[in-house]
Structure 1
Amino acid sequence: MIEQQNPFDDETLAFRVLINEREQYSLWPAFAPVPAGWQSVAGPMPRAQAIDYIETHWLAMQPAAV
């Protein structure tokens, strides 16, 4: 049996950085459609670069008031 890798952990894929109205960030595989309520702010880019983007820009983990 072949074990499939979670696409969110796959270093070979390109990723987008998404943000929602509460200013929460998400790492998102570039092949997947952007879910409702989220918008792309960066990418597609390598996974490590997307994580660096999130760590640089998401300074307050508490969601913003809506």
Structure 2
Amino acid sequence: MKVLVNDEEQYSLWPSYLDVPAGWKETGTEGTREKCLEYVNEVWVDMRPRSLREQMERTAP
């Protein structure tokens, strides 16, 4: 199992034996499902897509 991330900074667990799909890249974290989930829980603290976060920052008063 490995952890992938896309341009919107959303994370996904992906089987190690499959090719990484278009639009995703490897984070460098690989191992058991538990290890991968632990990593995702540490780094993915804001579930909003990057584009939404940026839009909200631009329109904030």
Which TM-score band (shorter chain)? 0.7 to 0.9
Shift of 1:23: 0.2
Question: Is 1:54 matched with 2:40?
Answer: yes
Q: 1:40 aligns with which of 4, 26, 30?
A: 26
* Kept after mapping to 1: 8 A contact 2:29/2:39: no
**Could you say which structure has the higher strand fraction?**
1
1:1-66 → structure 2 map (5 Å cutoff): 15-65=1-51
> Could you report, residue by residue, the CA deviation over 1:9-57 in whole angstroms, capped at 9, with x for unpaired residues?
xxxxxx1100000000001110111000000003321110000000000
Amino acid at match of 1:25: Y
> Percent sequence identity over matched residues?
38
Aligned equivalents of 1:41, 1:28: Cα separation in 2: 11
How many residue pairs match? The answer is 52
Cα RMSD after superposing both structures: 1.3
Query: Gapped runs of 5+ residues in structure 2?
Result: 53-61
Structure 1: segments with no counterpart, 5+ residues: 1-14
